[in-house]
């Protein structure tokens, strides 16, 4: 690889236009260093060059302790160079190195002339990760980030509350639309579904007034809502049409059909299938349908955390349908119940289908209820298995975890009062629960979790438990890889951040199962700095994104998706960011340990 091809491979040089890159190449000085030779000395003379490592390795040492290990394609020297201050570290050649040196005048000229080049050096990790654009939006899939208002192509059609439904139906047919707005206060809506469910099914006649069968108040979205936000809203609200407002006025109505036209693979296709489902056996391809949908959303520019919410809405729809079918088959339950999900599904962070993590809470502790729900949970878990959700190897499924509410409350309290290893494991699992379906309130379980904020001993033990998963950083800041050169993104990155956020969220005294909401609550409570919250949040997004990219590639190649990536297959910028991300996680694990004095626990 020639010099210009090498340099333009690495950020931020890949942001430079060709003429600037050619000028830079002509100004580069090549420097050779041997092992143990110093390039920079901590507290010494200011650095006069930006260094890009061509070959070899460099150790960065602060106060006698190595804290980073740089390889080909990585940069150093710029903090001292930019501010002409003494270096904060020693830069020492580890293996014979060839460095490309860029002088201060050339570096300053590039900073002044190229904004993206300058931002690379001026922004922190959170900003750099936030602006990482992994893909150009595909014209085939459609851009999911454009405003929903751009899809409106006609003004809203209205009727009056006292008009007859026959008149409304005739107006809908004439305009070739599936709904009309009702000029009431607040505004209402009448849809073609309302004619089926509220008019025909109830034996009402054509002279029925609109106000008797309309929905009011109507649910609306502002016109600047991104398309993915509208999709998510409609899925979660289980509606097929939503009026769009601008400056407080309704400007049009968007339907699921409008969104289907915008994309070739769309969550609404799956959603409609799920609503009509009669036998889970017919959904054997659900896993692959979800993967196709996720791939479309991902390449449509949708943030991974929003994809997680979208997938959760689809999975919830599937689960609700299976629960309904099971009730129809077994008869009504003898006592109210609620079905819970936890793990990544509970946090709404599941991007592709993984093992089942579920439980069931029921009200009355009777032999009849115990027998019913033993059979009920078996039917539901088997239905999910048929749809592509594997059984949980650890057995954390409703077939094993269906209990009366009083038993669950006793368990939650026991886990907090006696924080032994198994109790902490189960607390970490079940405290991420989310209620999906049922009439039984589980607020009392939320309250127990919230009360745990005052139990400092439990929080300290939970914090120590959160430190069990560590980033794959070696003693000398190299990356620890398995025999196949892979790193585990879940164990080394995702799980540590999820665990940190769980402790911070509980300490803040708010119950949000999602990782990002927990970090935001910790910032709001003053337990985590704004910079810390932003950095952990963007690090979490970045690692989720890397893993999803690898998993979608596995689906495309018809191999089993996993949590590991081959380190050397990652792009240079991703390796650098991931290494920094692992360092951030390690730092915040250290802060958490110090905050809760985990070293003092027995």
Give me the helix-helix angle, 421-430 and 456-466, nearest 10°. 90
Q: Which contacts (CB < 8 Å, 24+ apart) does range 423-428 have?
A: 424/461, 424/462, 424/465, 425/465, 427/462, 428/462, 428/465, 428/466, 428/499, 428/502
Q: Please tell me the distance from the alpha carbon of residue 532 to that of residue 406, in angstroms, as a whole number.
A: 39
Residue 259 scores a pLDDT above 80: no
pLDDT at 155: 86
Q: What's the pLDDT tens digit per position in 68-120?
A: 888 888 899 988 888 788 888 999 999 999 999 999 999 988 988 888 888 78
Residues with Cβ within 8 Å of residue 354, at least 6 apart in sequence? 343, 344, 345, 389, 390
pLDDT at 410: 97
Mean pLDDT lowest for which of 141-145, 167-171, 294-298?
Answer: 141-145
Q: What's the pLDDT tens digit per position in 209-244?
A: 999 999 999 999 999 888 878 887 887 787 888 999
Contact (CB, 8 A) for 77 and 51? yes
User: In this structure, what are the phi and psi dihedrals at residue 505, rounded to the nearest 5 degrees?
Assistant: -65, -45
Partners of 101 in the β-ladder: 29, 51
Quote the percentage of the chain above a pLDDT of 90. Answer: 53
Task: Identify the CA nearest to 93 among candidates 56, 121, 63, 120.
Answer: 56
Residue 602 scores a pLDDT above 80: no
Q: What angle do CA 152, 154, 160 make, to 5 degrees?
A: 115
pLDDT tier, 138 (very low <50, low <70, confident <90, very high otherwise): very low
The overall average pLDDT reported for the chain is 88
Residue 354 scores a pLDDT above 90: no
| The token pair that represents 298 in the structure block | 């991902």
pLDDT tier, 263 (very low <50, low <70, confident <90, very high otherwise): low
* Lateral strand order in the sheet of 358-362: 402-404, 358-362, 337-341, 434-438
Spell out where 342-443 has E strands: 358-362, 402-404, 434-438
Q: Please tell me the distance from the alpha carbon of residue 335 to that of residue 158, in angstroms, as a whole number.
A: 44
Residue 471 scores a pLDDT above 90: yes
Q: Which 3-state string (H, E, C) describes 539-564?
A: HHHHHHHHHHHHHHHHHHCCCCCCCE
Q: What's the pLDDT tens digit per position in 507-539?
A: 998 877 899 999 999 999 999 988 889 999 999
The pTM of the full predicted model, rounded to 2 decimals, is 0.73
pLDDT tier, 477 (very low <50, low <70, confident <90, very high otherwise): low
Q: Please tell me the distance from the alpha carbon of residue 453 to that of residue 449, in angstroms, as a whole number.
A: 8
CA atoms within a 13 Å half-sphere pointing along the CA-CB vector of 285: 6
Contact (CB, 8 A) for 142 and 300? yes
Q: What's the pLDDT tens digit per position in 535-590?
A: 999 999 999 999 999 999 988 888 888 999 999 898 877 888 898 899 889 989 99
Mean pLDDT lowest for which of 46-50, 257-261, 427-431?
Answer: 257-261
pLDDT at 194: 86
Mean pLDDT lowest for which of 370-374, 433-437, 542-546, 556-560?
Answer: 556-560
pLDDT at 135: 46
Q: Kindly give the residue spans of alpha helices, DSSP state H, lying in 114-255.
A: 115-122, 125-130, 165-175, 192-194, 227-237
């Amino acid at each position: 690889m020639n010099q210009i091809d090498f340099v333009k491979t690495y950020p931020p040089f890949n942001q430079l236009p060709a003429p600037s890159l050619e000028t830079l190449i002509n100004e580069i000085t090549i420097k050779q260093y041997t092992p143990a030779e110093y390039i920079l000395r901590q507290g010494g003379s200011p650095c006069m060059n930006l260094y890009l490592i061509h070959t070899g390795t460099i150790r960065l040492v602060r106060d006698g302790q190595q804290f980073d290990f740089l390889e080909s394609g990585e940069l150093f020297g710029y903090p001292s160079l930019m501010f002409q201050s003494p270096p904060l570290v020693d830069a020492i050649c580890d293996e014979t190195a060839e460095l490309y040196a860029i002088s201060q005048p050339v570096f300053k000229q590039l900073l002044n002339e190229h904004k993206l080049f300058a931002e690379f050096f001026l922004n922190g990790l959170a900003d750099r990760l936030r602006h990482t654009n992994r893909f150009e939006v595909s014209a085939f899939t459609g851009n999911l980030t454009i405003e929903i208002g751009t899809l409106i192509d006609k003004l809203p059609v209205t009727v009056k509350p006292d008009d007859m439904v026959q008149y409304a139906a005739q107006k809908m047919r004439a305009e070739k639309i599936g709904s009309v707005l009702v000029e009431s206060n607040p505004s209402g809506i009448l849809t073609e579904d309302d004619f089926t469910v509220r008019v025909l099914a109830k034996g009402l006649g054509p002279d029925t007034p609109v106000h008797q069968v309309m929905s009011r108040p109507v649910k609306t979205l502002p016109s600047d809502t991104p398309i993915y936000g509208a999709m998510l809203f409609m899925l979660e609200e289980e509606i097929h049409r939503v009026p769009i407002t601008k400056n407080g006025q309704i400007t049009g109505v968007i339907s699921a059909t409008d969104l289907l036209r915008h994309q070739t693979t769309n969550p609404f296709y799956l959603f409609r299938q799920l609503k009509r489902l009669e036998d889970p056996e017919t959904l054997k391809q659900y896993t692959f349908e979800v993967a196709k949908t996720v791939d479309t959303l991902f390449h449509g520019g949708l943030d991974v955390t929003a994809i997680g919410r979208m997938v959760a809405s689809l999975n919830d729809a599937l689960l609700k349908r299976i629960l309904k079918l099971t009730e129809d088959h077994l008869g009504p339950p003898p006592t109210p119940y609620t079905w819970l999900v936890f793990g990544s599904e509970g946090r709404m962070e599941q991007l592709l289908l993984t093992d089942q993590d579920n439980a069931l809470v029921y009200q009355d502790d009777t032999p009849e209820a115990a027998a019913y729900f033993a059979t009920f949970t078996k039917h539901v878990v088997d239905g999910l298995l048929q749809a592509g959700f594997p059984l949980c190897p650890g057995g954390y499924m409703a077939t094993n975890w269906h209990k009366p509410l009083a038993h669950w409350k006793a368990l939650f309290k026991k886990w907090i009062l006696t924080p032994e290893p198994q109790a902490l494991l189960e607390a970490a699992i079940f405290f991420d629960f989310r209620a999906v379906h049922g009439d039984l309130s589980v607020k009392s379980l939320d309250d127990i979790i919230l009360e745990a904020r005052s139990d400092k001993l439990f929080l300290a033990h939970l914090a120590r438990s959160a430190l069990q998963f560590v980033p794959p950083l070696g003693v000398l800041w190299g990356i620890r890889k398995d025999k196949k050169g892979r790193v585990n993104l879940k164990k080394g990155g995702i799980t540590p951040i999820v665990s940190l956020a769980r402790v911070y969220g509980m300490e803040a005294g708010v119950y949000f199962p999602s990782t990002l909401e927990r970090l935001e609550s910790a910032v709001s409570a003053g337990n985590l700095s704004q910079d810390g919250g932003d950095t952990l949040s963007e690090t979490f997004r970045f690692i989720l994104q890397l893993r999803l990219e690898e998993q979608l590639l596995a689906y495309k190649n018809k191999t089993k998706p996993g949590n590991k990536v081959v380190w050397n297959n990652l792009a240079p910028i991703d390796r650098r960011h991931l290494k920094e991300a692992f360092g951030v996680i390690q730092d915040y694990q250290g802060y958490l340990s110090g905050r809760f004095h985990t070293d003092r626990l027995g």
